[in-house]
Chain A
């Protein structure tokens, strides 16, 4: 069975600091990978996704993620965070051509102004 591990439960940063959130998954086959964000009081929104091709994917709001197949990882990065990035971030993995997505338990990011 698939599982997704997000190692950081809560990250606190100051504005302009760089961000990296870890995501590792366990599944030996071909996968699609996602990062979702949930801002306070809002619903889950897609930040970025990887289906195939260039393992470095760019998403909205300056976020990017790198798929490293050999490490089963899909870490999220942003060079300079803003106060408005305060939110909960979820990594998800889905077997290619399957409907079910498996989510990690999320990382709460707090950015201090």
Chain B
């Protein structure tokens, strides 16, 4: 049973560029959440997708956007990259219980390390 997978593993971009990160959830999971983990800090919630819609969002600017596909996989897009966007981007998947999206345990992928120069 494959866990959460993310691609690419590492990415180097320059300021002002745009980036797309990809995530495939664990089998049987329908909800995907994205987190940003800066060096020395805990993961910070960016947003969550369920039924191809953004259901909840953290304190991140509109430069951060996402998408969920019918097969539950997801993309995170970041426009107009800033140096401060350099971080590990984590995808977490979960299933839905009691009608509330993503209320079961989240399982994390290995992350994509983004470096902005």
Contacts and interface: CB of A to CB of B under 8 A. Distances in A.
Interface stretch (B20-28, B41-49, B67-75): B41-49
B42 A43 contact: no
B109 to A, nearest CB: 6
Given A43-B111, A44-B108, A46-B105, A99 B31 contact: yes
A110 B78 CA distance: 35
Contact of B102 (A34, A42, A49, A99): A99
Interface residues of A, number: 22
B79 to A, nearest CB: 23
Contacts of A34: 105
Contacts, number: 58
Interface stretch (A62-70, A72-80, A101-109): A101-109
A4 B42 CA distance: 10
Given A43-B108, A105-B40, A97 B103 contact: yes
Nearest to B50: A99
Contacts of B102: 99
A82 B75 CA distance: 39
B8 interface: no
25 contacts: A36-B108, A42-B110, A46-B105, A46-B107, A49-B105, A90-B43, A97-B98, A97-B100, A97-B103, A98-B56, A99-B31, A99-B33, A99-B56, A99-B94, A99-B102, A99-B103, A100-B48, A101-B33, A101-B43, A101-B106, A102-B45, A103-B35, A103-B43, A105-B41, A106-B40
Interface of A: 4, 34, 36, 42-46, 49, 90, 92, 96-106
